[in-house]
Amino acid sequence: MKTAKSIQICGTGSGVGKSIITAALCRIFLQDGYQVAPFKSQNMALNSFVTEGGEEIGRAQALQALASRIKPTADINPILVKPTSNTRAQIIVGGKPVRNMSVYEYKDYKKLVFGRVKESFGRLRDKYEIIVIEGAGSPAEINLKSHDLVNMKIARLAGAPVVLVGDIDKGGVFAWLIGTWQLLSKGERKMVKGFIINKFRGDRRLLRSGITFLERYTGIKVLGVIPYLRDLKIPEEDSLPEESRKKSFSYGRKVKISVVYLPHISNFTDFDAFRLEPDVSLKYVKNCEDLDSPDAVIIPGTKNTIEDLNYLKSRGLADKIVSVFQSNPAAVLVGVCGGYQILGEKIYDRKNIESRNREIEGLGILPVVTEICSEKVLSQVSARHLSSGNEVTGYEIHHGRTKAKAGSKPLFEVVRLGNKKARRYDGVMSRDGRSWGTYIHGVFDSDSFRRHFINDLRRKKGWRVLSAIGNYSVDGEIDKLALAVRRNIDLGALYRILGCYPPSLNESRRLGKLRRI
């Protein structure tokens, strides 16, 4: 039976790059011949993924599983917290929703669910050789430490050395690293074995004095300085990159796609693939002024459809979206998951599953009505686009059940749900084809369908269609990430911290075997 070595990647705060560094180390250890798995006991995120077994986990952990080249399961992320408001969230345990809880309800519930966390980690420990554990936020959050379920408590459970990551691009990285380390208890400080400075732009020589001071003050080695990887196309965990939010349209020969930035937006990674297309300008819009004559408007998924629809109406965005669509005969309007529901005639939430509102009028673009139900649909999906014949794969995550009116035109034929064959329809297309909605997340990840969608916009503008340009390969981007981290980290020191030695890459490839720890 295997007993895995473990290492935990903690951060000085949220958004410093823990998820990306974890993914990079998973791929590096894999490349070096080890069986590796990621682990994050609790993730708070609106970007989620559905496993082959119909379990919902954080999308970041699904990416890390891809980096490890293993099938993701709920064991790598046993608890997922999906906020529905500032004080409430849906709690998902073992890949299945439990119920919505307030902050204080969940604080008490953590004590009951820690056993599930230990069971999941135990199964991974017995199956893999190295487990790369990701922390959450900061391990020094004073108000959270008493009921910690993801940082130093997990490191102690795993007997894992801790590496602390800081984001120099945000400024104050040395104060941030030292301050975080000092706020840990004496025992916890001894568990921290290395620092990583992330997202550095400039000449590394300028960091020498800071690194020297940091290492002398703490007695802890700086393992590496990772450069700001501007061109890396790795999906963000739970917030859009700053440059994506600020990006304005380039008015060259490009189709303009606007994605509505909802307060509870989920799975915005559905649209990352558009960034690979040189003839597309992608923009996220929050108000009416930003919605400037786009060729396509996409309303994305949301964790709270009714509240976000109320938001669109109160800001005037709902009327603006309809106006843009109706005033431009060439414009296309698309809804994905919650966005699909919003495009319909009415949404009912009679049991108050997502909202206090029991019903609300939709935008009335598509002839469908949605009922929010208690049971959540969680499934991987393979389907065929009925108009073009293009095949797509993705996943469904929704409480809504959407019924189309008689005579409506379905969008996709679903041919597989998880491991089972299926034959049913998904989504609806308007009679003129200018508007459609689907429950399938990841639909634009298909190169052929994405190009079909873009070319349809090009035809409406009188432009010639183009053959496939962008090739959306997250796996290839992970290799680029791993190479960048490998080149900028003291891997020998990292292996010594981990308690094993890096195998010869050439030898492991020649023998075709994995080195045992």
- The single residue listed with the structure tokens 């379920």 is 149
Catalytic residue among 10, 26, 264, 337: 337
Q: How do strand 56-58 and strand 79-83 relate by DSSP bridges?
A: unpaired
Residue type, 362: G
Catalytic residue among 264, 385, 398, 441: 441
Indicate the SS3 state at residue 227. Answer: strand
Q: Is 398 helix (H, G, I), strand (E, B) or coil?
A: strand
Cα→Cα distances 252→81, 249, 273, 312, 333, Å: 42, 9, 20, 30, 22
Separation CA 275–CA 80 (nearest Å): 28
Is the separation of the CB atoms in 447 and 467 below 8 Å?
A: no
- Could you tell me which residues come within 8 angstroms of residue 64 by beta carbon, excluding any fewer than 6 positions away? 19, 22, 23, 26, 38, 76, 132, 134
**Measured distance CA(386)–CA(7) in Å, rounded:** 47
- The one-letter amino acid code at 174 reads F
Q: How many CB atoms lie within 10 A of CB 434?
A: 20
337 among known catalytic residues: yes
Instruction: Say which amino acid occupies 372.
Output: I
- Side-by-side strand order, sheet with 222-227: 36-39, 130-134, 5-11, 162-167, 192-200, 222-227
CA dihedral 30, 486, 130, 73 (to 10 degrees): -60
Please, where are the H alpha helices in 359-405?
none
Give yes or no: 288 in active site: no
Q: Which residues pair with 304 in a beta bridge?
A: none
Active site residues: 337, 441
